[in-house]
Amino acid sequence: MSKSITVSSCAYVHTSDIDATVLKHGDAWEKLANVCTTRAQTALRGPTGGYTKVHRDTMSDLFGSMRAAHRSIRLLLALGDEKPESVDALALARLQVEGLYSMCLLTEGPQHVSTFVRDAWKKQYVRYLLVKEETRRLHASPNRTAWNFRDLGN
């Protein structure tokens, strides 16, 4: 049985507030985000109340994916509004919000991580079956392995 976690046992008591008059450049915020995700991924390396290694690795991967998407958003925005590619940052920003909501759900309990992983595998398998059916009459090349389900870890 895992130890109960209470708010008071894990709360960080702030000793200073944010100065709203200070403006920070995006690089400063990116540095803070990198520190936070690195610390979260480091914390997930060890045993964590009821979460298995697979659970922790899944959550850590989600943090890593969100960090990569954040870098992509910054690169796209750096193009400026004159470049049409910069609009792709909006779709990535939406994914970031979805990732944050997913992470919040996953921290509610290990059972949610199991559901999250099962759902992802199910969607991937259904996609595989659909592509297999749609391409069944195409000439099968010996090099055609893009949708080989064995490559998905099965």
Q: What is the identity of the amino acid at 23?
A: L
Mean pLDDT on 2-11: 74
Given a cut of 80, is residue 56 above it in pLDDT?
Answer: yes
Q: What mean pLDDT value characterizes the chain?
A: 84
Quote the pTM value: 0.67
Question: Cα(8)–Cα(31) distance, rounded to whole angstroms?
Answer: 28
Residue 112: pLDDT band with limits 50, 70, 90? very high
Phi, psi dihedrals of residue 126, rounded to the nearest 5°: -60, -40
Q: Looking at the predicted structure, is the pLDDT value of residue 116 above 90?
A: yes
Domain residue limits, the chain: 23-109
69 close to 92: Cβ distance less than 8 angstroms? yes
58-75 tens-digit pLDDT = 999 999 999 999 999 999
Residue pair 61/37 in contact by the 8 Å Cβ criterion: no
**pLDDT band at 154; cut points 50, 70, 90:** very low
